[in-house]
């Protein structure tokens, strides 16, 4: 009998964010059990609502956005994105250099499919947002992980990056602000990365989807703004800052010097037209959304939900013997460290599974983010403080007696 296996192209694609822990969570939910989800960066289920003006814009445009748009996106949306790039000093972006996508996710995959040949290498952070590693691999490339250093506020380790550049390296991915660590990189680190890209003629891939979710008076510096003489592909979108992850609204901009990348740009155009266009109603709200950055800011200051929830979680972790965490400066994630000797932990996925089964609370283990040691996990602090309190009390209780067999 003929059977159908998955494509061998997927054999090495590692997207551990699913796996036994998620399977168990699905089983528990199907059995009617309530679980607290600290595992996914999806604001809406936690009571976050997009600004009315943004939603109204899309509703009002529904009848005029029934057709396909230009494959790069509506002109009005791309114009607003160009203005946004200008506000962030991202150089040399015209409407022709902007591609809207069904979330940044679609464009991350497209950017790798359009560039890589088998065996090409791309430098990707560890820990990473795992779509990057998966996209490099699916495109036939090799993701070479560079270390982000917890001792140095999770900043990229420049010496480690240097040591991993080879003649096969085509680009370097910088996720800033970072998922899963919540780090925000300072100018000097970004400048050193740009310098390496300059020296080795690499493309910069700047995933900046959390750039509007920065706390404590810090400023996000767009990587492209430091590299007008290089090609930077910048990724952004409204899933997080405007709390509309479900609308699938993202974009990618080619910035800086494109003169040496004519072939690559052709490849991206081809892939962009093959998917016809991204969700047009969602594109139509981009100008209104980018004109309204105030509602996001309210979440990030004292009294704002994201700010208060971050502080709560960081304090709660500090109160649990055997856990520690670098206080995140941005986004809504943190990546606590576990004293693995104390708990005899050798398998972080088992740890997440044990906690889920006993306490009905779901988080993602560090290996899901290509972190090699079993000593970290990610908390998404989107639930309200009351729910976070339940979760963190449960964690304290669990950690008081946990020993991995
Ligand atoms: N990049 C990073 C760093 C993310 O954390 C996410 C989502 O969690 C994405 C990209 C994808 O966002 P979207 O496809 O919703 O635009």
Q: With 80 as the cut, is the pLDDT of residue 283 above it?
A: yes
Q: How far is the CA of 109 from the centre of ligand 1 (A)?
A: 12
Q: What is the pLDDT of residue 158?
A: 98
Q: What is the pLDDT of residue 179?
A: 97
Atom of ligand 1 nearest to the CA of 175: 3
The full set of domains in the chain, from first to last, is: 8-49+298-399 (3.90.1150.10), 52-292 (3.40.640.10)
- Probe residue for ligand 1, chosen from 237, 248, 275, 378 as the CB with the greatest number of ligand atoms within 8 Å: 237
Q: How far apart are CA 35 and CA 353, in angstroms?
A: 13
Q: What is the pLDDT of residue 308?
A: 98
Work out the percent of the chain whose per-residue pLDDT is above 90. 94
Q: What is the mean pLDDT of residues 240-259?
A: 96
Q: What is the pLDDT of residue 153?
A: 97
Task: Compute CA distances 171 → 122, 202, 203, 288, whole Å.
Answer: 5, 5, 4, 33
**What's the pLDDT band for 12 if we cut at 50, 70, 90?**
confident
Tokens, residue 78:
């791309």
Q: What is the mean pLDDT of residues 45-55?
A: 92
Per-residue pLDDT of 325-347, as tens digits, reads: 999 999 999 999 999 999 999 99
Q: How far is the CA of 238 from the centre of ligand 1 (A)?
A: 9
**What's the pLDDT band for 229 if we cut at 50, 70, 90?**
very high
Q: What is the mean pLDDT of the chain?
A: 96
Rg (CA), the chain: 21
Q: How far is CA 29 from the centre of its chain?
A: 26
Q: What is the mean pLDDT of residues 96-100?
A: 98
Put residue 323 in one of left, alpha, beta given phi > 0 → left and psi -120 to 50 → alpha.
beta
Per-residue pLDDT of 153-191, as tens digits, reads: 999 999 999 999 999 999 999 999 999 999 999 999 999
**What's the pLDDT band for 17 if we cut at 50, 70, 90?**
low
Buried b (16+ CB within 10 A) or exposed e, 311-324: ebbbebbeebebbe
Tokens, residue 349:
């996925």
Work out the percent of the chain whose per-residue pLDDT is above 70. 100
Peptide bond preceding 155 in cis form (omega within 30 of 0): no
Q: Is 173 in the pocket of ligand 1 (CB under 6 A)?
A: no
**What's the pLDDT band for 13 if we cut at 50, 70, 90?**
confident
The answer to whether 52 and 189 are in contact (CB under 8 A) is no
Q: What is the pLDDT of residue 90?
A: 98
Q: How far is the CA of 319 from the centre of ligand 1 (A)?
A: 30
Q: Is 101 in the pocket of ligand 1 (CB under 6 A)?
A: no
Q: What is the pLDDT of residue 370?
A: 93
Q: How far is the CA of 12 from the centre of ligand 1 (A)?
A: 21
Q: What is the mean pLDDT of residues 56-77?
A: 96
Buried b (16+ CB within 10 A) or exposed e, 39-51: bbbbbeebebebb
Q: With 80 as the cut, is the pLDDT of residue 16 above it?
A: no
Q: With 80 as the cut, is the pLDDT of residue 107 above it?
A: yes
Q: What is the pLDDT of residue 95?
A: 98
Q: With 90 as the cut, is the pLDDT of residue 11 above it?
A: no
Q: How far apart are CA 56 and CA 366, in angstroms?
A: 39
Sorted by sequence, the CB contacts under 8 Å of residue 354 that are 6+ apart come out as 402, 404
Q: How far is CA 279 from the centre of its chain?
A: 20
Q: With 90 as the cut, is the pLDDT of residue 133 above it?
A: yes
């Amino acid at each position: 009998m003929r059977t159908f296996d998955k494509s061998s192209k997927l054999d090495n694609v590692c997207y551990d964010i699913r796996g036994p822990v998620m399977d168990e969570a699905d089983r528990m939910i199907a059995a009617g059990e309530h679980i607290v989800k600290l595992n996914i960066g999806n604001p809406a289920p936690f009571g976050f609502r997009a600004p009315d003006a943004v939603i109204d814009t899309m509703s009002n445009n529904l009848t005029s956005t029934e057709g396909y748009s230009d494959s790069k996106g509506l002109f009005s949306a791309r114009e607003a994105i160009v203005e946004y790039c200008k506000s962030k000093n991202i150089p040399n972006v015209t409407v022709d250099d902007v591609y809207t996508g069904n979330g940044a996710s679609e464009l991350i995959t497209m950017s790798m499919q359009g560039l890589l040949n088998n065996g090409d290498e791309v430098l990707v952070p560890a820990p990473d947002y795992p779509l990057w590693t998966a996209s490099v691999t699916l495109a036939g490339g090799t993701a070479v992980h560079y270390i982000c250093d917890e001792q140095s506020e999770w900043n990229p380790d420049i010496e480690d990056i240097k040591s991993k550049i080879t003649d096969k390296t085509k680009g370097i991915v910088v996720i800033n602000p970072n998922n899963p660590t919540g780090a925000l990189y300072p100018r000097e680190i970004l400048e050193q990365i740009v310098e390496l890209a300059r020296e080795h003629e690499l493309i910069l891939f700047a995933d900046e989807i959390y750039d509007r979710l920065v706390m404590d008076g810090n400023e996000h510096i767009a990587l492209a703004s430091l590299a007008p003489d290089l090609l930077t592909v910048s990724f952004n979108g409204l899933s997080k800052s405007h709390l509309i992850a479900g609308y699938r609204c993202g974009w990618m901009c080619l910035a800086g010097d494109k003169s040496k990348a004519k072939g690559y740009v052709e490849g991206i155009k081809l892939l962009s037209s093959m998917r016809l266009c991204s969700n047009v109603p969602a594109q139509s709200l981009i100008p209104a959304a980018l004109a309204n950055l105030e509602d996001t800011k309210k979440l990030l200051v004292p009294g704002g939900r994201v700010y208060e929830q971050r502080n709560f979680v960081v304090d709660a972790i500090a109160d649990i013997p055997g856990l520690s965490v670098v206080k995140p400066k941005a986004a809504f994630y943190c990546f606590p460290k576990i004293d693995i000797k104390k708990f005899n932990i050798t398998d972080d996925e088992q740890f997440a599974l044990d906690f889920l089964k006993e306490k009905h609370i779901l988080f993602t283990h560090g290996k899901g983010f290509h972190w090699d040691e079993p000593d970290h996990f990610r908390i998404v602090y989107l639930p309200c403080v009351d729910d976070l309190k339940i979760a963190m009390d449960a964690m304290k209780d669990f950690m008081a007696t946990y020993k991995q067999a």
